Amino acid sequence: MVGLRGRCISVCWHLDSKPTEEKARMLPAGVFLVLSCWVVSLVLGVPPIETQPEQVHISYPGLHGSMMVSWTTFSEADSMVEYGLLGGKLFELVAKGSSAVFVDGGSEKRKLFIHRVMLTRLKPGSTYVYHCGSEAGWSNIFYFTALNESSDWSPRFALFGDMGNKNPQSLARLQKETQVGMYDVILHIGDFAYDMDEDNARIGDEFMRQIESIAAYVPYMTCPGNHENNYNFSNYKNRFSMPGDTEGLWYSWNVGPAHIISFSTEVYFYVDYGLDLIVKQYEWLRNDLEQANKPENRKSRPWVITMGHRPMYCSNNDSDDCTLFESLVQLVEAYNFVLISGVDLELWAHEHTYERLWPVYGFMVYNGSKEEPYVNPKAPVHIITGSAGCREKHDGFIPDPRDWSAFRNSDYGYTRMQVFNSTHLYIEQVSDDQNGKVIDSMWLVKDQHGAAAWA
């Protein structure tokens, strides 16, 4: 086919050198060949460069002054990030990392090279410009701001779950808001792409290209959902780079005045992948909450926030687990850690709706007071935000909300959260269906954190 392209170019060039009448006589054939050439080019496109980086995204590895840059190539290449402070000399710093081969579980056994480079000694709060790749191909240029390491600042989050490759309705608004600097962190609370392993993981590739426009600019922190379950969550485990050594199944990290715990609700549902995961996660969660709750730690990071995909409570009508009183995710609550450790806020997705709950524990509502339910509440507050948009569209609600349901809405959208300081946390829900209108908001105010707050 390259020969045909070459022949097209040569005929076009040849036509220019002919006398006018001869040109006119040859024109139909010439036009045909030029058109053929154009069609062939359209069909063939540009030959793929398999060492060209794509699907660039960043995450916070949990170490002071660091940021992980991850990307994909389709053949082997070096792993480098060239970067520098915004306004300084471009690419004056270089960091090197490595790549790991990920073989998808589908019939084609497609092979992806997942590159990871950790940037260290970043200046907190400074903005860096970077590209990644190797001498065999570089990415576009992106930028990010290194996280402020102190506990005395007010990080801003975008939160959502259940965003798909098809119908990711909230993505455009999130792209613009991320790129103008409205967020410090994005939390994607499970269910990606629908599904990353489909079409021999090409859907995963497409999705990771789609989210590059947000995930290459701010740390994109994740937890697994049920749509990641195929081949033992291998697409999830390989494509994302979360802190810790569990391939992103469970981990925790600190940002501003918050300690954030991400865990897998899926260990309770996909037990074929190992009952031991339930035990391991249990041990880890107990230990992590014990550490987070030590007086010196709780003093600097007073807010303890969890995120997991499937909610404990909901009032949807799809007969899903959270509508049942014997919900498997209730096991987490049954551990009692949540209460003993005084977890302040629990973030969920899975239901393709938004729902804000009253402070609830053991199916009982424990508002701070009748007038100010979220001022010094006596139980954790739950938010379900799984309406970013996917091919499964919306979920419905049961007609009569449960006792614990404070507000619910099924518009496509996402949640904004800001942890202002040690006592004040703000949450608002954005409706994409209503052109970005804020349809719900809440101030969670806590003068005291930990188990003592429940007294």
Q: Which stretches of the chain bind Fe ion, using CB under 5 A?
A: 191, 225-226, 350
Complex with Fe ion: residue 206 or 320, whichever CB lies closer: 320
Determine contact, residues 356/377, Cβ cutoff 8 Å: no
Complex with Fe ion: residue 191 or 212, whichever CB lies closer: 191
Closest CA relative to residue 415, chosen from 448, 438, 382: 438
Separation of alpha carbons 155 and 279, rounded Å:
32
Closest approach of Fe ion to the CB of residue 133, in Å: 34
Q: Beta partners for 409?
A: 354
Complex with Fe ion: residue 191 or 395, whichever CB lies closer: 191
User: What is the signed CA dihedral for 37, 39, 41, 42, rounded to 10 degrees?
Assistant: 170
Complex with Fe ion: residue 225 or 389, whichever CB lies closer: 225
Determine contact, residues 99/113, Cβ cutoff 8 Å: yes
Closest approach of Fe ion to the CB of residue 235, in Å: 15
Q: Which residues of 262-281 are buried (b: 16+ CB within 10 A; e: fewer)?
A: bbbbbbbbbeeeeeebeeeb
Question: By CB neighbour count within 10 A (0-12 exposed, 13-18 middle, 19+ buried), where does 22 fall?
Answer: exposed
DSSP per position, 349-414: -SSSSEEEE-SEETTEE--S-SS-TTBS-SS-EEEEE--SB-TT----B-SS--TTEEEEE-SSEE
Determine contact, residues 341/304, Cβ cutoff 8 Å: yes
Closest approach of Fe ion to the CB of residue 121, in Å: 38
Complex with Fe ion: residue 191 or 355, whichever CB lies closer: 191
Complex with Fe ion: residue 225 or 243, whichever CB lies closer: 225
CB-based closest residue to Fe ion = 350
Closest approach of Fe ion to the CB of residue 349, in Å: 7
Closest approach of Fe ion to the CB of residue 351, in Å: 8
What distance separates the 2 farthest-apart alpha carbons in the chain?
98
Measured in degrees and rounded to the nearest 5, phi and psi for residue 46 equal: -80, 130
Separation of alpha carbons 214 and 226, rounded Å:
23
Closest approach of Fe ion to the CB of residue 431, in Å: 21
Complex with Fe ion: residue 191 or 440, whichever CB lies closer: 191
Closest approach of Fe ion to the CB of residue 169, in Å: 17
| C-alpha pair distances (Å), 257 with each of 81, 419, 421 | 30, 7, 6
Closest approach of Fe ion to the CB of residue 392, in Å: 9
Complex with Fe ion: residue 225 or 413, whichever CB lies closer: 225
Closest approach of Fe ion to the CB of residue 173, in Å: 22
Angle at CA 310, nearest 5°, toward 172 and 386? 20
Complex with Fe ion: residue 161 or 342, whichever CB lies closer: 161
Complex with Fe ion: residue 288 or 346, whichever CB lies closer: 346
Closest approach of Fe ion to the CB of residue 277, in Å: 18
Closest CA relative to residue 247, chosen from 266, 271, 272: 266
Determine contact, residues 352/386, Cβ cutoff 8 Å: yes
Closest approach of Fe ion to the CB of residue 319, in Å: 14
Complex with Fe ion: residue 225 or 342, whichever CB lies closer: 225
Complex with Fe ion: residue 72 or 235, whichever CB lies closer: 235
| C-alpha pair distances (Å), 158 with each of 66, 114, 427 | 21, 25, 10
Closest approach of Fe ion to the CB of residue 266, in Å: 9
Helix axis angle for 171-179 and 198-215, nearest 10°, is 40
Separation of alpha carbons 59 and 70, rounded Å:
8
